[in-house]
Copies of this chain bind each other. A is one copy, B any other.
């Protein structure tokens, strides 16, 4: 194997090891020694591949985000704009071990970004990317006439972003984690109430029974519900 490829492979092994530890223990539970051991190398080998703990954290967060980003791009391609938005928001929820793992990066970055320029930069970039994605999705639904015509797109995107961050915090740190079903109810209810979303039809993943929260249905104004049912 050529030396360069070997280097890349070994580097990835360290990033994967850091990601695996952060998933389990949060960002503050990660040590150089632990990451090296998890990857099956010595601490000396690790420092040969990454310059600092912060570089390791930033790069392993990029490594962890790859899958999520690919899934989000796929969800965005759903032709129904409102369902594309719902799909992307569902993907952002801390609803399984992998996603909670990704959230552990972000929660750690929030604190670490205060003092570290590299961590701050990537945190700000992610927020910019996320706000743009949400705005784009809401604008598409608006252009398509699926949401209230006078929606302020940026304000709506900010509220969705706040809701998603806040839900993740409740899952990971409040001591009263909402179930995946409750997390989705919060998204559905936000779409129905804030956006005045006209089509209330949650996607039905094969591995999960479709749930239409009663509180969601009942909060949709009667006229809109009637229009939706008439389709």
Name A's B-contacting residues (CB within 8 A): 25-29, 107-108, 110-115, 120, 123-124, 127-128, 131, 148, 150-152, 155, 158-159, 161-167, 169-170, 172-176, 178, 182, 185-186, 189-190, 193-194, 196, 215, 218-219, 221
Q: Is A114 a contact of B26 with CB atoms below 8 Å?
A: yes
Interface residues of A, dominant DSSP: helix
Copy number in this complex? 2
The residue in chain B whose Cβ has the minimal distance to the Cβ of A176 is B127
The residue in chain B whose Cβ has the minimal distance to the Cβ of A127 is B174
Question: Could you tell me the distance in whole angstroms from the C-beta of A225 to the nearest C-beta in chain B?
Answer: 12
Q: Is B194 a contact of A189 with CB atoms below 8 Å?
A: yes
**A148: B residues at CB distance < 8 A:** 218-219
Q: Is B111 a contact of A175 with CB atoms below 8 Å?
A: no
Q: Is B162 a contact of A170 with CB atoms below 8 Å?
A: yes
Bound-state Cα–Cα, A209 to B119, Å: 38
Which of B164, B173, B215 is close to A113, meaning CB atoms less than 8 Å apart?
A: B173
Q: Is A218 a contact of B150 with CB atoms below 8 Å?
A: yes
Q: List 29 A-B contacts (CB under 8 A).
A: A26-B115, A27-B111, A28-B112, A29-B114, A29-B115, A107-B110, A107-B111, A110-B173, A123-B174, A123-B175, A128-B175, A128-B176, A131-B176, A148-B218, A150-B215, A155-B186, A155-B215, A158-B186, A161-B166, A162-B166, A162-B170, A162-B186, A163-B163, A163-B166, A165-B166, A165-B170, A193-B194, A193-B196, A194-B219
Report which residue of A25, A164, A193, A221 has the largest number of chain B beta carbons within 10 angstroms of its beta carbon: A193
**A152: B residues at CB distance < 8 A:** 215
